Structure 1
Amino acid sequence: MVASMASMATRFRTRAMVNLCYLAVVFCAFLVPSFAELQRIEHPTKSDASLSFLVVGDWGRKGFYNQSEVAFQMGRIGEKLDIDFVISTGDNFYDNGLEGVYDPAFRESFTNIYTAKSLQKQWYSVLGNHDYRGDAEAQLSPILRRIDKRWLCLRSFVLKTEKVEFFFVDTTPFVDKYFTEPDYTYDWRGVEPRKTYLANLLKDLDTALKKSTAKWKIVVGHHAIRSVGHHGDTPELIKFLLPILKANNVDLYINGHDHCLEHIASLDSSIQFLTSGAGSKAWRGDLKLHDNHAVKFVYDGQGFMSVKMTENSALIAFYDVAGKVLHKWKISKQLHSAI
């Protein structure tokens, strides 16, 4: 009898331990972000497999600082190129992101500004550092997609077309200073623990790039890897992200963050670094030109960028606030040449 009771007690203890372990696993699953695979989205291309899109960043100022003027020219160029979609490189809403999913700033800075017929296409967006100062998860919410069906913002994801794959990367959590700044509060829900988040993101990006069979690989983030603008290079991205891009033969890295337009060629790879962060407020005269970069073009005013791609070539153009072409660049798998 005593032995039986002892055996029963042992079984209860064992079952209790199993239950505790199960609860611990479940609890940790909620605490640690899981990135088994980057979310994939497919976008159809035209019948001839060509692809055209616009890129704009750092724009959300309720029409001020020439945001409305830039939007007008985007509409004009978008119609001319028959664009398939628009890419936003982050800092979508100033100064401190959105306060929630029903913040009127969403309509005031997005829906009511980009009204041209040609811009009524899907917008693919990433978060910038200013977006993280508000309710970052509001911008990721499907509620915003119901308010304006064009809107799609995710932390990191893959956009697949017939010949081109875009890899959108959440770059803000890489930057050390945002975790120590005393003057701002950031919404790190879904990011912490930071080391786990970044390790998983880098691993999954590398895996996605390796698996890609696309002829063109384009990576999009908010922060610059190479820049001669106000913020300059981002050391954390040079250390952690750039080696992955080089190893996987990425063609273009597109970003915002610096409020200017830039085209910089890599000195040790075929990557072209393109900045389009001039959607509203620009920083005139705030450039840090030096000999460490192969700068092909830089402009310190407002504007945006277009890309028109075929199977074998991509034509990239930068425009100012009046819609004037400032710089064109043609890239192919065989040859790079300025126009």
Structure 2
Amino acid sequence: MSRFPESFMNRFHALLAVAALSSVAMPAQAQEAPISFVAIGDTGYIPAYETLDEDEEPFATLGEYLGAHAEGWLDHHPDLSDFTPTPWTFESTLGGFTSASGMYPVARAAAEVCASQGCDFGAMLGDNIYPDGATLGADGISDARRFSDMLDKPYGRFGAGTENFTIYTMMGNHDWHISREATEAQLTYLQQHPNFTMPDLFYKAVPVGMEGEVEIFVVDTEMLLASTTVYKDELDAEGNEIQTGELESWDDYVKPASPAEKNMVSWLEQSLAQSNARWKVVFGHHALWSSGGSKYEKARSLRKLLLPAICKYADAYISGDDHLMEAYSDDCSTVADAADGPVPMFVAGAGSKYRQQDVAFAAQQKANNPQMTNLFSKGSTWGFLHVTLQDDLLNAAIYSTPGDMSGRPIKEFEQSFANRSK
């Protein structure tokens, strides 16, 4: 007979069972806390701010609008079997039908993912204000109204409730349309707004509390393109590149003006090399690979400038500009002394506008560039990117949100990539 009461023995055996279950459930080594962020590009499209060129007529009927979009679809696809027109709205300021904006559906969908998956900070990838950035009132619309409608209202309280949350911001080509003074007016607004961080046109930053873990590096790709040789894009019917020899041009005010601006590429390489962060992520407006078919010459010029630094020292490159949701990897075989492993590259330029993927060009690009792998592409959708950094893995998830304006997040793609900059 036991010398302990039956009630004590029952409790003792129950405790042993709990301990046994706990020992099974406990991992051999606890995982590090994840660091997550959301990246959204080309957010600033509002139809009421658009204007028609002098030779343009508004689409007076929905049929005219859909017909024009079907013709555009056939420029990039063999038939209309998967035709997906951009959601439409009748815009009274234009007098006709035009493309609706995904600004608020994307913002709501991203906020929902951040609430469920976590977001410690955000990144806005340029083209924050359509169609021409700030104008200093030259078009009769105050910049204060633009900043309120395109920056503060959709994203001024994004991430509320998360300590030290901020959105790291940059300029895109549309943000540079009017003048350097107008671009700097947007910069000043972003610097003064409590929910955005943009200390300069290009910069590096360590999110609060993430010292030694994450450092971001923002480059102004429009300024870089204005400083180098860029040819105009042209494709034949099969998606093959046509070499026209014609050059793109930029206004002088976009070109690097200060010694620091002229030294941006060297600054990036030196800053990446000197960083002690485990994760080094480079952001820029323009993609280094994309499949819209009208950006490939800009991408080629930027790869010449940026790939050496990124392949040697960075863990990822994230961009907008092409209004698609895409994931690529570049094996860095074109760069001497590159770090081991491919660099993941993401295009998240569908924050308010659609673009169709050019399927013929995408196939030609894949065939002619063995160093590049196209992991995922989806056009004709709104969307955003969510990234989680944990242990030695970068997990990237691409989300879309449907054209019904519901703001529902739909996961389209997810893949993990190894840290390469340790």
> With structure 2 as the length reference, what TM-score do the two structures score?
0.61
Cα distance 1:263–1:103, how it changes in 2: closer, same or farther (>3 A)? same
Q: Give 1:296's aligned residue.
A: 375
The amino acid across from 2:44 in the alignment is G
Aligned length: 280
Q: How does 1:123-272 map to 2 (within 5 A)?
A: 123-134=167-178, 135-141=182-188, 143-146=189-192, 148-153=193-198, 154-160=200-206, 161-162=210-211, 163-175=213-225, 176=229, 187-188=253-254, 191-192=256-257, 196=259, 198-230=261-293, 231-232=295-296, 234-248=299-313, 250-267=314-331, 268=333, 269-272=341-344
Distance apart, 1:203 and its partner CA: 1.7
Q: Tell me the equivalent position of 1:99.
A: 135
Which aligned pairs between 1:259-338 and structure 2 lie closer than 5 A?
Answer: 259-267=323-331, 268=333, 269-287=341-359, 288-290=361-363, 291=366, 292=369, 293-300=372-379, 301-321=381-401, 322-333=408-419
| Separation in 2, partners of 1:177, 1:239 | 11
CA separation of 1:94 and 1:177: change in aligned 2, threshold 3 A:
farther
Give a deviation string over 1:71-120, Cα, whole Å, max 9, x none.
Answer: 11011111112311110111111010012494311111122123666357
Identity %: 27
Q: 2:151 aligns with which of 110, 119, 122?
A: 110
* 1:53 matches 2:37: yes
2-structure distance, mates of 1:127, 1:177: 19
List per-residue Cα deviations over 1:294-334 (Å, max 9, x = no partner): 10000102100101112322211001113110000112338
Greater shift in the superposed pair: 277-286 or 69-78: 277-286
Q: In structure 2, what is the Cα distance between the partners aligned to 1:198 and 1:307?
A: 29
For structure 2, the residue ranges without an aligned partner over 5 or more in a row are 1-31, 48-99, 137-141, 232-246, 334-340, 402-407
Aligned residue in 2 for 1:31 = none
Give how far 1:235 is off: 2.1
Give, in whole Å, the separation in 2 of the partners of 1:88 and 1:117.
Answer: 12
Counterpart of 2:306, as a letter, is L
The verdict on how the C-alpha distance between 1:119 and 1:235 changes in structure 2, with shifts beyond 3 A counting, is farther
- Deviation sequence 1:116-157 (CA, Å, 0-9, x none): 66357311011111101131111221x4444x3112233111
- Aligned residue in 2 for 1:81: 117
Task: Name the amino acid aligned to 1:219.
Answer: V
Partner of residue 35, structure 1: none
* Distance in 2, Cα, partners of 1:115 & 1:127: 17
- Relative to 1, partners in 2 of residues 1:185 and 1:198: Cα closer, same or farther, differing over 3 Å? closer
- What is the distance in 1 between the residues matched to 2:282 and 2:190? 24
1:19-69 CA distance string (max 9 Å, x none): xxxxxxxxxxxxxxxxxxxxxxxxxxxxx6531110000110238422111
Structure 2: distance between partners of 1:212 and 1:151: 23
Partners of 2:326 and 2:158 in 1: how far apart?
28
Check conservation: 1:133, 1:186, Cα contact below 8 A. no
Determine the C-alpha separation between the residues in 1 that align with 2:252 and 2:134: 12
8 Å contact 1:72–1:114 — kept in the other structure? Answer: no
2:72 corresponding residue in structure 1: none
**What is the CA–CA distance in structure 2 between the aligned matches of 1:208 and 1:116, rounded to whole Å?**
31
Contact preservation (8 Å) 1:140, 1:152? no
For the residue of structure 2 that corresponds to 1:90, the secondary structure is coil
The amino acid that maps onto 2:172 is G
Given that 2:37 and 2:123 are in contact with CA atoms closer than 8 Å, whether structure 1 keeps it comes out as yes
What is the distance in 2 between the residues matched to 1:177 and 1:105?
Answer: 31
SS, match of residue 112 in structure 1: helix
Q: Is the 1:70–1:304 Cα contact (8 Å) retained in structure 2?
A: yes
- Aligned-residue Cα RMSD (Å) equals 2.6
